[in-house]
Amino acid sequence: MADHRDTECTEGLEGDALTGAIIGAAIEVHRCLGPGLLESTYEECLSYELDQRGLHVERQLVLPVHYKGLELSAGYRIDLLVNNQVIVELKSVQKIEPIHEAQLLTYLKLAKKRYGLLLNFNVPVMKQGIRRFLND
């Protein structure tokens, strides 16, 4: 069967279509690697997979806090920012906790982005590790 991923038109994707493309890439990474590896491994592989699909990916993006005209480094880093629209927070944990969700919601607010994905790769089936977020 031919692989047509290099012919996909993903450059102009937005919103649900873009998050869908990212989820498809995450499922592919999980299918190939399975659960239980380090978060950094999944980040590297997902970044590669997204790039192969024609998406622009920024990794470990520093996210400053703006306070009363000051730009403060608070130690926030976005795992992946895809097409300057979707923040992707990666985990490889037993269970997604409320603190993980709060982390992504904080990033969405500070970066003024609407779409976020929280992806936990430490699950038997990737579908179980996907959470979408909207910052309205």
Q: Where are the domains of the chain?
A: 14-134
pLDDT band at 128, cuts 50/70/90? very high
**How many C-beta neighbours within 10 Å does residue 41 have?**
15
Q: What is the pLDDT of residues 50-82, one digit of tens each?
A: 999 999 999 999 999 989 999 998 889 999 999
**Over 90: is that where the pLDDT of 12 sits?**
no
SS3 content of the chain, % helix, strand, coil (to 5): 40, 30, 30
Return the half-sphere exposure (C-beta side, CA atoms, 13 A cut-off) of residue 119. Answer: 30
pLDDT score, position 74: 86
Task: Look over the chain and give the mean of its residue pLDDT values, rounded to a whole number.
Answer: 91
- Per-residue pLDDT at 7: 35
Closest CA to 55 of 100, 101, 88, 104: 88
- Residue 83, pLDDT above cutoff 90: yes
Residue 76: name the closest of 30, 42, 108 by CA. Answer: 108
Assigned architecture for domain 14-134: 3-Layer(aba) Sandwich (3.40)
